Amino acid sequence: MKRIYSVLMGIVSILLLTAFMGYSKRNTYYEKEEEHSEGKFFISYDKVNIYPWEKDGVLYFFLPASFNWEQAELIVHNGYLQIDGKNVDFTSEEGYQNYEMNTDYTYHFSWGDVEEEGTLLFMKSANIGTVYIETDSGSMEWIDQDKEYQEGGWILITDCAGNVCHAGLLDSMKSRGNTTWQSEKKSYKIKLSREADLFQMEEGKNWILLSNVYDGNKLQNKISLEMASDWGLSYTSEGEWVDLYLNGQYRGNYLLCEKIENHENRVGIMDLEQQTRILNGDLKNLETFDTGTRKGILAERNPEDISGGYILEKDLNYDSVSGFLTKENNPFSIQAPQYATKEQVDYIADYIQQIEDMIATGDERLFDYVDLDSFVLRYLLEEVILNRDFGINSMYFYKEQGDQKLYAGPIWDYDGAYGQGLSNSKILAALEIQNYLRERTITWYPGLYENDIFYDQIVEVYVETVRPYILELIQENGKIDNYANLLRSSVEMDMTRWPYSDYRAGYYENFESNVRYMKYFLARRLRFLDQEWLGEDNHYEAEGNGEWYTATFIGKTKTESFEVQDAEEILATPEYLLGEHEWWYNIRDDRPFVAELPVYEDVTYYAHNGE
């Protein structure tokens, strides 16, 4: 039966792909042709149109991993195109023309009285799949401007060889995120018209496209998710890297992830919202309440058992439909049920308050209500990678119906980890991260850390599971190096489209240096945690490659430069060049000088008072 179903779905996919091609061509070519009479040129590849992007006089074509010129056509509309002095004509007897990747070509394009010329460059990804999305409007303007706005469309997903993984209607697409939403390279939530097992991940309709815009190595979220899964944290989302194209425009390297939601293939707990909907009908239109510390909806009926399932998020923004504040002012958004009734909000808020009180008083019954294993594993993950959002945002918990324990997870959002945004990596997140960041960090972990049962299991799991795992991860030709090799071509395109220095992505200008820093940071964290928990002074950092780099410090009246060997830290700066209240800032991204940052490339700092 499954075989017949697979065959039928294969046929459906082919039909949907054919429909997508027609839809894509209509949306991105003919509709635009009617709206604009100006000339243009673009690449049609397997019936998907890819448009060029221009910066500083260079026109870029960013091409997917499966691209080859034999299946492509460079279409010139309403004009004439020459590349290196030769007319472009893919319909000639000579057939397709094969342009080399990463090679500068000169182009001349004329239409009407307009003449355009400049440099043309083709870049191609490798090793990862591709997501093509065509929105109904043919534009991303409103989606990118309003986080609440959503729009339908069509979607085509192919693997790195060009094989179709999914094609069909897109029910909706909207932008998402907190810090990432402030950047031009947005993250998105998409909802397919039917469930699909994309890249062999579990079936689902709802998916997340993470932009990783502030991540200089593009590895942080993927590595963190796999850490959690490998260590045994239940319901951890899977993710796969893809190149994203929106309405024919390349948008960069993204991580396609399973969305955290109440679903048998995501967080597989009782669907309390569905039970409530059966009793009350559509919950979205019911009256809401907000007491200042608790909020949700008012419904006439509740299921007999409202003890679960719940998915909670410790969320500084506190902008969900349902949620509550604890007495310690810890804000929790109730992600499932999204439309929680007053009785359900009261139940879960009282339950969480009971746990918070137990942590604060050292109640010996605590681990009858808190799952020790998941809390320890999630804490160790946050501590090892030093997540700056630890206890602030994107910290999830869940509770199943009929189970009195609260579980930590699933984990989410690690753009701000691995030393990003923290000038001191030699701190314990459980005790000190609140001093370095903003208020409303969750108040539980200092109390948990002082609990003997919790602390003893931290050390045990660290020694038996975490430390060996990290050492294997950072070794030469380990997972980090292998993933970096896999991503290199895609990241080169992404770095061109979204320059690192514009978004403070990583600490370094090039991809290789940011990958090396990730490994260095993890080695330093192990060294620090060995000292804290085991009383051992171990060194795990990799040796340098023997090269020398120039460190330059530009003062108001004088500049000083000196050589630093690869992987060494700058232990002393020329303070005599600083004026009153001045400090050194990296000319690349205006970040202040950090003493423990190893040198992997030439670096320049300038003196400034920070205002």
| Joined tokens for residue 2 | 């499954």
Q: Are 143 and 135 contacting, i.e. CB atoms less than 8 angstroms apart?
A: yes
Q: Are 237 and 257 in contact (CB under 8 A)?
A: yes
- Say what the alpha-carbon torsion angle 331, 335, 336, 341 is, to the nearest 10 degrees: 60
Which residues are registered as beta bridge partners of 561? 552
Token pair listed for 516: 């090396």
Q: Residue 533 gets which letter from DSSP?
A: I
pLDDT for position 482: 98
CA distance 371 to 368: 8
Measuring CA to CA, which residue among 139, 159, 172 is closest to residue 201? 159
- pLDDT score recorded for residue 7: 42
Q: What is the pLDDT of residue 440?
A: 64
CATH homologous superfamily, domain 548-608: Listeria-Bacteroides repeat domain (2.60.40.4270)
pLDDT on residue 91: 62
pLDDT at 392: 85
* E strand spans, 391-534: 395-399, 407-408
List phi, psi (to 5°) of 527.
Answer: -60, -45
The domains of the chain are located at: 38-124, 272-464, 469-534, 548-608
pLDDT, averaged in runs of 10, over the chain (611 residues): 43 54 45 54 91 96 96 91 88 70 96 92 98 97 95 97 97 90 93 97 97 95 98 98 98 98 97 98 97 98 98 91 94 97 98 97 97 98 92 93 98 90 79 63 89 98 98 97 98 96 88 96 96 96 95 96 96 93 93 91 93 71
* pLDDT attached to residue 416: 87
